[in-house]
Structure 1
Amino acid sequence: MHVDFKDLALFIQIAEAPSLTQGARRAFLSPAAASVRIKALEAQLGTHLLYRASRGTELTEAGQRLLKHARVIMRQVGYLKTEFDEYGADGSGHIRIFANTTAVTEFLPEILAGYLGRNPGVTIDLQERSSRDIVRGVLEGSTDLGITAGTITAKDLEVIHFSTDRVVLVVPVGHPLDRGQPLRLADTLEYHQVGLQEGSTLHEFVREHAEQAGRNLSWRIQVSSFEALCRMVEAGVGIGIIPQSAALRHQKTLRLSVVQLDEPWALRERSILVRDFDALPGCVKALINLMRPASDDSGKQPG
């Protein structure tokens, strides 16, 4: 069986688009030419990959399986091209990163700014995703690396520890919970909560631990950023749980009290996720080495 890389790239474009026509346009082909290529690919594989309808296309079960493999293959082809580019060993390339809210807003901007300043030939696509999407993206090859917090149980991943992350409670100054001593999560559940939007990593994290305590959180409002959350807390809308780094930063400009949480899960491990560190191009390895602790000799822990 001989599968053309161009056919795989076209198939990915169509799978990620609402229709064959739009996928073909992204691949700079006419719909007729794209249809011929997909039919030829189906003939080679001996199975149907797409359901075709007037409203668009939908992947068959075989198409879903091919999409996972195609993404990994095309990602590796990209790595190969980068490695053999004139400066590909470490000076140029494109890196896609899926990261949680804390990483995107709190520490990655400074790290990436320094990295890009030293590597002008590198471009980066940084996308905020939930932990579930981050793990799936790395496994399926739709991202070069993922950054998340908490325990990672997925197989076939290399988990590279690089720091720790503590979540804390933020309350308005003078709030009944502003006692100057650590609190348990149960102590906070009778109060209205300000949280991030549903689907965010932190939202799911806090909700799960509240459910484990046998309670549901009383969401007063959900917002899109730590800054908005802290402003709502300052205004007395409710209380919120956020990373300590974000709490201390916003406490400098807002009237907030930061309260430690006396919970074992309040301290979380931050991790970089990759499929195979040794197979990554030089530019990605250089970024990972910049993030992980110098004291970590190998940095790799089988996931």
Structure 2
Amino acid sequence: MHFDLADLRLFIHIAESPSLTQGARRAFLSPAAASARIKALEGQLGTRLLYRDSRGIELTEPGQQLLVHARRIMRQVDYLKAEFTQLGSDESGHIRIFANTTAVTEFLPEVLSGFLAQRAGVTVDLQEKLSRDIVRGVLDGSTDMGIIAGPVNAAGLEVLHFSTDYLVLAVPEGHPLAGKSKVKLGETLDYQHICLHEGSTLLTFLRDHVEQLGRELHMRIQLSSFEAICRMIEGGVGIGIIPESAARRHSRTMNLVTVQLDEEWALRERSVLVRELEALPSVVRALIDTLRQSQ
């Protein structure tokens, strides 16, 4: 059974009008053409839908049932049209983002607050993920975009660089490493570290490099933000490896000393990952543009 949307809309016009003639006029059809289409619809359904007499039209019981379903179908069609019309605008829509720890806790809140304040119709689902899960999510379509730092194996994806950051060692004033201009990772492992929570991208990244040295990362406490880590470092609880951008920001209000890490991997290129930039909805491309301009 095949339903023509035009026939369903015509049936609604006729059912809501006092006569077939007026219903046909609302559908921009002649009465004869409208009558023929209703008869064809009745033939397809195998039942009579309405009676016509000098007083106008009267729906049969099957006609009443069809009217309920036809209204529901056409309402859903209107919703569908509205939703896909909005996809062509950057003023509304939903964006899912998979991002690393630094992005989630440091710069994305500021970027998103400005972006969303100007677009009341936009919603965002921001999830912190490991780099490998970010890549996988973009590849399989689980997320609209991914934000990572450092080298990435992203065959089949577009990698859009937007800023550069460095990992540095943060120590309290007077610490034995505070007077050095550069340190190797191995030099820091004799001290207790303040680290991010389990599952964070940065912690996983550091553990991988510590294991390559055949050493162990001694963690005194794990926290959920760089601000909390810096407060612990300031208090002399331990030392920590954090992004330079976070260290610079928190050094304005805390007594911290930062030391450059003498490691190639300390340079962290930040990138947005997408499957195909031009195929993304306008609202997602607008956010990517905002992100690239803000850094």
Please say whether Structure 1 and Structure 2 have the same fold, judged by a TM-score greater than 0.5.
yes
Superposition deviation, residue 86 in structure 1: 4.7
Superposed CA offset, 1:156-200 (max 9, x none)? 211111111111111111000111411111211111111111221
> Given that residues 83 and 89 in structure 1 are in contact (C-alpha distance below 8 angstroms), is that contact kept between their aligned partners in structure 2?
no
Distance 1:228 1:154 in 2: 32
Distance 2:99 2:214 in 1: 29
Give the TM-score normalised by structure 2. 0.68
State the match for 2:141 in structure 1: 141
Superposition deviation, residue 115 in structure 1: 1.4
State the match for 1:272 in structure 2: 272
- Give, as a single letter, the amino acid of the residue that structure 2 aligns with 1:149: A
Distance 1:86 1:178 in 2: 54
State the match for 2:153 in structure 1: 153
Distance 2:82 2:245 in 1: 35
Q: Give the aligned length.
A: 215
Q: Is the partner of 2:116 in helix, strand or coil? A: helix
Unaligned runs of 5+ in 2: 1-79
Superposed CA offset, 1:245-284 (max 9, x none)? 1111111222211111111111111010111112100000
- Give, as a single letter, the amino acid of the residue that structure 2 aligns with 1:269: E
> Given that residues 173 and 255 in structure 2 are in contact (C-alpha distance below 8 angstroms), is that contact kept between their aligned partners in structure 1?
yes
State the match for 1:30 in structure 2: none
State the match for 1:190 in structure 2: 190
Q: Is the partner of 2:211 in helix, strand or coil? A: helix
> Given that residues 82 and 88 in structure 1 are in contact (C-alpha distance below 8 angstroms), is that contact kept between their aligned partners in structure 2?
no
- Give, as a single letter, the amino acid of the residue that structure 1 aligns with 2:264: P
- Give, as a single letter, the amino acid of the residue that structure 2 aligns with 1:220: R
> Given that residues 167 and 241 in structure 2 are in contact (C-alpha distance below 8 angstroms), is that contact kept between their aligned partners in structure 1?
yes
Superposition deviation, residue 234 in structure 1: 1.7
- How has the CA–CA distance of structure 1 residues 243 and 134 changed in structure 2, closer, same or farther, with 3 Å as cutoff? same
State the match for 1:162 in structure 2: 162
Superposition deviation, residue 89 in structure 1: 2.5
State the match for 1:249 in structure 2: 249
Superposition deviation, residue 117 in structure 1: 2.3
Superposition deviation, residue 81 in structure 1: 6.8
> Given that residues 82 and 93 in structure 1 are in contact (C-alpha distance below 8 angstroms), is that contact kept between their aligned partners in structure 2?
no
Superposition deviation, residue 150 in structure 1: 1.0
> Given that residues 87 and 283 in structure 2 are in contact (C-alpha distance below 8 angstroms), is that contact kept between their aligned partners in structure 1?
no
State the match for 2:261 in structure 1: 261
Superposed CA offset, 1:29-67 (max 9, x none)? xxxxxxxxxxxxxxxxxxxxxxxxxxxxxxxxxxxxxxx
Unaligned runs of 5+ in 1: 1-79, 295-303
- Give, as a single letter, the amino acid of the residue that structure 2 aligns with 1:127: Q
State the match for 1:181 in structure 2: 181
- Give, as a single letter, the amino acid of the residue that structure 2 aligns with 1:288: I
Identical-residue share of aligned pairs (%)? 64
Superposition deviation, residue 235 in structure 1: 2.0
Distance 2:271 2:282 in 1: 20
Distance 2:94 2:88 in 1: 10
> Given that residues 82 and 89 in structure 1 are in contact (C-alpha distance below 8 angstroms), is that contact kept between their aligned partners in structure 2?
no
State the match for 2:171 in structure 1: 171
Q: Is the partner of 1:97 in helix, strand or coil? A: strand
1:209 aligns with 2:209: yes
Distance 2:286 2:116 in 1: 11
State the match for 2:50 in structure 1: none
Q: Is the partner of 1:170 in helix, strand or coil? A: strand
> Given that residues 277 and 285 in structure 1 are in contact (C-alpha distance below 8 angstroms), is that contact kept between their aligned partners in structure 2?
yes
Distance 2:167 2:182 in 1: 12
> Given that residues 194 and 229 in structure 2 are in contact (C-alpha distance below 8 angstroms), is that contact kept between their aligned partners in structure 1?
yes
Distance 1:187 1:213 in 2: 11
State the match for 2:51 in structure 1: none
State the match for 1:132 in structure 2: 132
Superposed CA offset, 1:88-115 (max 9, x none)? 3222111011111111111111211221
State the match for 2:101 in structure 1: 101
- How has the CA–CA distance of structure 1 residues 188 and 283 changed in structure 2, closer, same or farther, with 3 Å as cutoff? same
> Given that residues 95 and 125 in structure 1 are in contact (C-alpha distance below 8 angstroms), is that contact kept between their aligned partners in structure 2?
yes
- Give, as a single letter, the amino acid of the residue that structure 2 aligns with 1:168: V
Distance 2:269 2:228 in 1: 25
Which of the two has higher C-alpha Rg? 2
> Given that residues 195 and 229 in structure 2 are in contact (C-alpha distance below 8 angstroms), is that contact kept between their aligned partners in structure 1?
yes
> Given that residues 82 and 92 in structure 1 are in contact (C-alpha distance below 8 angstroms), is that contact kept between their aligned partners in structure 2?
no
- Give, as a single letter, the amino acid of the residue that structure 1 aligns with 2:142: S
Distance 1:142 1:82 in 2: 24
Runs of 4+ that moved beyond 4 A:
80-83
